[in-house]
Structure 1
Amino acid sequence: MELCACLASIKEQPAWILAIFALGLLSILKASIAALWWLFVSFIRPGKNLKRYGSWTIVTGATDGIGRTLAFQLAHRGLNLVLVGRNPDKLVGVSAAIRDKYPDVRVETVLIDFASDLVEGVARLKKVIEGMDIGILVNNAGISYPYAKYLHEVDEDLIKDLIQVNVEGLTRVTHAVLPGMVERKRGAILNVGSGSSTVIPSEPLYAIYAASKAYVDQFSKCLYVEYKDKGIDVQCQVPLYVATKMASIRRSSFFVPSPDTFARAALRQIGYEPRCTPYWPHSLVWMLVSMFPVALFDRWRLGFCLRIRKRGMLKELEKKKQ
């Protein structure tokens, strides 16, 4: 009887009140489903068997940071490796270290400087991987600014390198590897993006870098749709800060993982959504950022980057004096 009375009282309310009530229920339902999905993806959903894509993995930018750690993690899972880097000594060092730790894993190396040797280097890569069962491509190679700068302060060489390494390099390597995956009807492509292009509203004083990573995000989403029916999974992973040389962060923390911690999370997400933030504390930051008014966040971010610029200019001045 009480339930019937409650329903009757609801029906007597004006239509606009009922509409607001319904929208509120739908919003709560949507938020609840999103929270449950986040919990499932972050803590419950298992990673895929990466060997099912193929026996070999290509990792670009494999000599430092995230790329190096991903190479070790993939070797731990029994995958053979083609390591791509621009420093011959570092390539020899990382390949030797992987062979020592995982003697059953085969390792090949390809020397490519994406900034100065891209076309010839990709041609060499094609020759090395000819006939290989390439299952996974990790496009990790990338560069950023030495420190925050206004656009008019960025020199011509850095502009060229940022676009060539972050945009053209990733595109050409992907173009070289895809035909084999299409022929075998299986494969996975992991493109390492950046929170500067997706998570935060803007990245002042890093404009070209952020824009180049926005290309990576859109490129990945388009290929995800193009090649899903061909058995190829394409994904852009969007990290925030990771304790690497490129980020100029030495110590890891809860919100700034070590490359090893990030790599473990990254491999668990391969083959699922076209875009993801694999390290779950980063996704919490994304949610918090989305709640801030854009103008307020932009103002804070500009001040933050201006402080980085000031420190960078002081270091550069000290080097010139030495």
Structure 2
Amino acid sequence: MEICTYFKSQPTWLLVLFTLGSLQILKFTLTLLTTLYIYFLRPSKNLRRYGSWAIITGPTDGIGKAFAFQLAHKGLNLVLVARNPDKLKSVSDAIRSKHSNVQIKTVVMDFAGDVDDGVKRIKEAIEGLEVGVLINNAGMSYPYAKYFHEVDEELVKGLIKINVEGTTKVTQAVLVGMLERKKGAIVNMGSGAASLIPSYPFYSVYAGAKTYVDQFTKCLHVEYKRSGIDVQCQVPLYVATKMTSIRRASFLVASPEGYAKAGLRFVGYEAQCTPYWPHALMGYLVSSLPESVFDYFNVKMSLKIRKKGMLKDSRKKE
């Protein structure tokens, strides 16, 4: 009674502020608890329930290679798709040495070349297979930061062909079999450059291509959810791979193995996610900054990368 009397005696504006503040605290608490559950307590799905085979594009290095090993560890048979037959054989042999019961098929496909021919080979390789998981990992970025007018025609063509056309056509080819069985999981690799940060200057075509992947995936997620197919765009930030030119992993830079483990825990859930929790934390902090502040530091960092890249190019020409 005393508490009720106390509140009744307060001015209306103070009660409104108290109510709004309480709602904000409640909202923050619920968001925090939900996030902690998702990243640390939520169980991963049994990927074998989607089917006994998984397809990984770009599995010869980095994240794709780590995904291949993790999927084999979970007992899935693999279809590995990449352009270099020697590297495909090397990865296949390495996986078989650790997981002798796993069946592996390889498909040679140059994502920067004749995509339609490569897709045809994929269709032939998976005919009759129960393909439950597709990971569209094959991707391409800039060799280093560049102004848009410095990006040559070959690089523009490769960025669009590999990131956009390759992802689109491989997805369409594999989706048909999933629809027939009414189950499947598709993971398209996006980028923090398109989804977590306000802008990604000096990598404009890459960021644009990954923005396409992000929106493409969200649309498919809604289109096919009722058909038993889970479509997801994973959005990493920095991972220590050849493509990012980062050699060592750290708290904010995931190792390929660390990212792949986190990534598979999220398969089948959200339409868009950032599985590696330090990346999600970084994205949250960046989103809290004014865009002008972030852009200032981002441009400064990108220009340093551009300067180093140009110096490296000039040395090659000497």
Q: Report the TM-score when normalising by structure 2.
A: 0.98
Question: Which residue number corresponds to residue 310 of structure 1?
Answer: 307
CA RMSD across the alignment: 1.0
The CA distance in 2 between the partners of 1:27 and 1:85, in whole Å, is 49
Question: Which residue number corresponds to residue 52 of structure 1?
Answer: 49
Determine if the alignment matches structure 1 residue 287 to structure 2 residue 284.
yes
Structure 2 counterparts to residues 216-255 of structure 1, below 5 A: 216-255=213-252
Q: Report the TM-score when normalising by structure 1.
A: 0.97
Determine if the alignment matches structure 1 residue 139 to structure 2 residue 136.
yes
> Percent of aligned positions with the same letter in both sequences?
60
Determine if the alignment matches structure 1 residue 213 to structure 2 residue 204.
no
The CA distance in 2 between the partners of 1:8 and 1:245, in whole Å, is 67
Question: Which residue number corresponds to residue 301 of structure 1?
Answer: 298
The CA distance in 2 between the partners of 1:218 and 1:15, in whole Å, is 45
Determine if the alignment matches structure 1 residue 100 to structure 2 residue 100.
no
* Deviation string, structure 1 residues 49-86 (Cα, Å, up to 9, x no partner): 11000000000011110001100110011100000001
After TM superposition, the structure 1 stretch with the greater mean CA deviation from structure 2, 287-296 or 77-86, is 287-296
SS in 2 for 1:138: strand
Question: Which residue number corresponds to residue 254 of structure 2?
Answer: 257
Amino acid at match of 2:226: D
Amino acid at match of 1:110: V
The CA distance in 2 between the partners of 1:9 and 1:43, in whole Å, is 42
The CA distance in 1 between the partners of 2:251 and 2:296, in whole Å, is 25
In the TM superposition, residue 160 of structure 1 has moved relative to its aligned partner by 0.9
Of 147, 156, 159, which aligns to 1:162? Answer: 159
In the TM superposition, residue 102 of structure 1 has moved relative to its aligned partner by 1.0
The CA distance in 1 between the partners of 2:137 and 2:131, in whole Å, is 16
Of 106, 120, 123, which aligns to 1:123? Answer: 120
In the TM superposition, residue 204 of structure 1 has moved relative to its aligned partner by 0.5
The runs of 4+ residues in structure 1 deviating greater than 6 Å are none
Of 191, 195, 218, which aligns to 2:192? Answer: 195
- Structure 1 unaligned regions, length at least 5: none
In the TM superposition, residue 117 of structure 1 has moved relative to its aligned partner by 1.8
Amino acid at match of 1:308: I
Of 72, 77, 80, which aligns to 1:80? Answer: 77
- Structure 2 unaligned regions, length at least 5: none
The CA distance in 1 between the partners of 2:267 and 2:85, in whole Å, is 29
How many residues are aligned here? 318
The CA distance in 1 between the partners of 2:158 and 2:24, in whole Å, is 45
The CA distance in 2 between the partners of 1:285 and 1:112, in whole Å, is 35
The CA distance in 2 between the partners of 1:121 and 1:26, in whole Å, is 54
The CA distance in 1 between the partners of 2:215 and 2:17, in whole Å, is 36
SS in 1 for 2:246: coil
In the TM superposition, residue 41 of structure 1 has moved relative to its aligned partner by 0.8
Question: Which residue number corresponds to residue 71 of structure 1?
Answer: 68
SS in 1 for 2:26: helix
In the TM superposition, residue 174 of structure 1 has moved relative to its aligned partner by 0.3
Amino acid at match of 1:242: V
Amino acid at match of 1:150: Y
